[in-house]
Amino acid sequence: MDAKLLQQIPGSAELIALCGEWPSFHDCEIIDLYLSRSTPSWIRIKLVGWADAVVTFHLEEISDLHLEDFSRQNVIYSLRIEQKGEGLRLNLDPCYGIAGWIDSPAIRITFEPSTEANGAS
């Protein structure tokens, strides 16, 4: 991940501090995906190998997306964020299940401990 780009994303510094580096999200599982045309959307991912946490990417005003192969279990090979015009593109590289990309003018990151209560397994 581009360090300059990460500086533009609220919550990225805290995630790096938690994990010791920017995680690749290899073998991490998407546990929630919420898309809305009028409120912020989000994608929640259970981290594997870096920290016992669930990371949420909050996406403002999605402008475009391409998603395919949604499944009962959705494990990604990696997650990348890149500059896309004036906004950002969140790329989900496939391992098993969902793959694709989501374009948004702004992304914000939050995380919480992984527990059975929040639906993570």
pLDDT in tens, 24-64: 999 999 999 999 988 899 999 999 888 889 999 999 999 99
> pTM above 0.75?
yes
Residue 67: what pLDDT?
A: 97
Q: Which of 25, 54, 28, 24 is nearest to 42 (CA)?
A: 54
Which residues, other chains included, contact 118 with Cβ-Cβ below 8 Å and sequence gap of 6+?
54, 112
Within-domain flag for 51: yes
Within-domain flag for 121: no
Within-domain flag for 84: yes
Within-domain flag for 16: yes
Which residues, other chains included, contact 93 with Cβ-Cβ below 8 Å and sequence gap of 6+?
76, 77, 78, 79, 80, 99
Find the domain containing 25 and state its range.
Answer: 3-116
Number of domains comprising the chain: 1
pLDDT in tens, 66-118: 999 999 999 999 999 999 999 999 999 989 999 999 999 999 999 998 874 44
Q: Which of 70, 113, 63, 112 is nearest to 90 (CA)?
A: 63
Residue 38: what pLDDT?
A: 84
Within-domain flag for 53: yes
Within-domain flag for 105: yes
Within-domain flag for 95: yes
Within-domain flag for 39: yes
